[in-house]
Amino acid sequence: MSTTTTATPVDLETIGDVVTPYALRIAATVRIADRIAAGVTGLTELAAATGVRERVLGSLLRYLACREVFTETAPGEFGLTPAAEQLREDHPQSLRFDFDLTEVRSRVETAHLSFLAFAGAGGPGSAYAAHYGRDFWSDLARDPALAASWDRFMSRVTRAAAPDVVGLHDWSTHRHVVDVGGGSGTLLASVLRAGEHLTGTVLDLAPAVAAARTELAAAGLSDRADAVEADFFEPLPDTGDAYLLCQVLHDWDDDAAVRILRRCVDAAGPGGHVLVVERMAGAHTDPRAATWMDLRMLLLFGSGERAAAEYRALMERAGLQVADGAGDGQEMALLDGRVPDRA
């Protein structure tokens, strides 16, 4: 995969700027766009509504107005540009949650500040751990608000990807699908709607299980699906004939990924299936997106993206039979691993 995209000189001053990204995040965190959309347009009133000192807020808004994010319609009066509209919570392409400094995505991005401490010899397992003193999963376990933010973020990601994932596989061959690490149940709900005969279970940690039960009930699927608390490094319920891992393994290094797969193999039993859905390194149509995700996984988990052949090798290490060439050339692929029959 070539990473050369253009002969146009790169403006390093622009792409290296950190003031503008954080100015945007501050505006998103204190919900400036939502307040202006609601009619609070004066600087004095905006300062009172946000709890930010008027002098400070005025500087921030004028900085962003000069960059065409907001507009100063009259001295001390501010309005929204098309760009600022995306900072509204209710905008169809809203980025407010992504930029909010109190939510999980911005917390992850801040860990870039400790990348060098992670990258050196003997560094911790991720830049996130180097920055915060604990790995990402331990951070979620100790902070319910952060865990809830992560579940909201992943629900949005999964909801966007679900139609593509459902279309990758013939679900009619299964009876009961167990979505391992299935978060809020968004993907399982889509799978069950694609196969009226199917039942299913979401397996995840406690905060996600509560969200999944709510999601499945709202989808009218409580009679066909449930959510159960489970740790995928421990023995899993053996209720399914298909165990689905959607964008789970890229969060883990090879040895951990094999341990997760083996738990699924044990639960599925002979003749069962383990279905691995991931984006495949080397097959992306957009190398910028591919390298962004690889760097993000390295930063957050100390892992990274893998090619289809690498995922097949992990599945085979776990004892699964996978078709030769499965996933090759696909940007997003579902690898169907079958648990061999006992001799």
Rounded to whole angstroms, how far apart are CA atoms 161 and 202? Answer: 17
Q: What are the angstrom distances between the C-alpha of 15 and each of 19, 140, 150, 155, 289?
A: 11, 31, 27, 29, 16
| Antiparallel, parallel or unpaired: β 242-246 and 273-279 | parallel
**Cβ 176 vs Cβ 240: under 8 Å:** yes
Sign for the pseudo-dihedral over CA of 31, 33, 34, 38: positive
**Cβ 128 vs Cβ 135: under 8 Å:** yes
SS3 of residue 135 by DSSP? coil
Task: Please state the separation of Cα 79 from the chain's center in Å.
Answer: 32
Would residue 112 show up in a list of annotated catalytic residues for this protein?
Answer: no
**Cβ 242 vs Cβ 268: under 8 Å:** yes
Rounded to whole angstroms, how far apart are CA atoms 335 and 311? Answer: 8
- From 131, 169, 174, 250, the catalytic residue: 250
| Catalytic center residues | 250
